[in-house]
Amino acid sequence: MSIHIGAAPGQIAETVLLPGDPYRAKWAAETFLSDVTCVNEVRGMLGFTGTWKGKRVTIHGSGMGMPSLSIYVNELIRDYGAQTLVRIGSCGAMQESVKVRDVVLGMAATTVSTPSRGIFRELNFAPTADFGLLHAAWTAAQARGVTTHAGNIYSSDVFYDERPDLNEQMTRHGVLAVEMEAAELYTLAARHGRRALAVLTVSDHLLTHEALPSEDRERSFGDMVEIALEAAFA
């Protein structure tokens, strides 16, 4: 048991999927896993462990933003031995070619600041995904016929952004989408020698202002979860 995760030793699998929303963790675990057990309810951040095609998986909420994710990922690695960590979540498209419902794989994550910024000081560390996971996720997405993009994403530390000039420069430089957690996930994975990837569903578009209707989200997010699971065990 750690400070923020109440699971007993052995209850967390080496492979962990990380949605931000704890109730999305519940939905994903009940939809895609067998023999599911709730292993954490501390502070309402739900975590579940079960099996997928006979392989143990934990699906655990990470909260909103990099500081929250940093807490859970640090404890999952340090206290429970997590080896493969895949963020599954939504993102906002920043390129015309990226459409609502598409899947985005984060090769690298641009950011203004992260909880790890104090360690690097003047160094602009470039956090990247694990290539094996990235390649496996791309292959899985192509096999499923899901329109997928791989490239740079932006991990913002604010949800209500008031820097349209900054967004314009990221769009100009090919950043695919914006989310709020991947840069810290990739940094922690690099620090501890673990594998990490962000598999994201485009739920809205910063340029066209299109948004995914709520009734369509479950089907679209389902593709993302299955891609993440296939990549983790490829």
24 belongs to an annotated ligand binding site? yes
87 belongs to an annotated ligand binding site? yes
Q: What is the dihedral of CA 50, 71, 121, 199, to 10 degrees?
A: 30
| Catalytic site includes residue 79 | no
Q: In sequence order, what are the residues at sequence separation of 6 or more whose Cβ sits closer than 8 angstroms to the Cβ of residue 207? A: 93, 94, 95, 96, 171
4 belongs to an annotated ligand binding site? yes
1 belongs to an annotated ligand binding site? no
Q: How far apart are CA 193 and CA 205, in angstroms?
A: 34
Residue with tokens 């994201």, as numbered in its chain: 200
96 belongs to an annotated ligand binding site? no
44 belongs to an annotated ligand binding site? no
94 belongs to an annotated ligand binding site? no
194 belongs to an annotated ligand binding site? no
Beta bridge partners of 154: 110, 178
Considering 21, 204, 216, 223, which one is annotated as catalytic?
204
Radius of gyration of the chain (CA): 16
116 belongs to an annotated ligand binding site? no
88 belongs to an annotated ligand binding site? yes
181 belongs to an annotated ligand binding site? yes
106 belongs to an annotated ligand binding site? no
62 belongs to an annotated ligand binding site? no
Q: Which amino acid is at 25?
A: A
Binding residues for a purine D-ribonucleoside: 4, 179-181, 203-204
Q: Which residues line the annotated binding site for phosphate?
A: 20, 24, 43, 87-90
Catalytic residues: 204
